[in-house]
Amino acid sequence: MPLVIISGLPSSGKTTRAKEILNYFNDRFNRERQTNRIHLINDESLGISKDSYQDTRVDEQHSRGAMLSAVERLLSKDDLIIADGMNYIKGFRYQLYCVARAVGTPHCVVYCGVSIDTAREWNTKRGAEGYGSTVFNELVSRFEEPDDRNRWDSPLFTVLSDDTSVSCDAIWDAVIVRSPKPPNQST
> Residues interacting with ligand ADP, by CB under 6 A?
8, 10-16, 122, 125-126, 161
Instruction: Decide which of ligand ADP, Mg ion, none touches 142; Cβ closer than 5 to 8 Å per partner kind.
Output: none
Strand runs (DSSP E) across the chain, as ranges? 3-8, 37-42, 79-84, 107-113, 156-160
Looking at the Cβ atoms of 78 and 163, the one nearer to ligand ADP is: 163
Looking at the Cβ atoms of 82 and 176, the one nearer to ligand ADP is: 82
- Least distance from C-beta 89 to ligand ADP, angstroms? 16
Q: Give me the residue whose beta carbon is nearest to Mg ion.
A: 15
Contacts by 177-181, CB closer than 8 A, 24 or more apart: 178/106, 180/77, 180/104, 180/105, 180/106, 181/101, 181/104, 181/105, 181/106
- Least distance from C-beta 159 to ligand ADP, angstroms? 9
Looking at the Cβ atoms of 54 and 161, the one nearer to ligand ADP is: 161
Q: Is 15 in the site for Mg ion (CB under 5 A)?
A: yes
Q: How far apart are CA 174 and CA 161, in angstroms?
A: 22
- Least distance from C-beta 24 to Mg ion, angstroms? 18
What are the φ/ψ torsions at residue 111 (nearest 5 degrees)?
Answer: -105, 120
Q: Rg for the chain (alpha carbons), in Å?
A: 16
Instruction: Decide which of ligand ADP, Mg ion, none touches 126; Cβ closer than 5 to 8 Å per partner kind.
Output: ligand ADP
Q: How far apart are CA 176 and CA 33, in angstroms?
A: 14
Query: b/e for 154-186, b at 16 or more Cβ within 10 A?
Result: ebbbbbeeeeeebebeebbebbbeeeeeeeeee
Looking at the Cβ atoms of 85 and 106, the one nearer to ligand ADP is: 85
Looking at the Cβ atoms of 130 and 180, the one nearer to ligand ADP is: 130
Q: How far apart are CA 66 and CA 99, in angstroms?
A: 14
- Among the candidate windows 14-22, 57-65, 140-148, 174-182, which touches Mg ion by CB under 5 A? 14-22
Contact set for Mg ion, span 113-142 (CB under 5 A): none
Q: Is 11 in the site for Mg ion (CB under 5 A)?
A: no
Q: Which residues bind Mg ion (CB under 5 A)?
A: 14-15
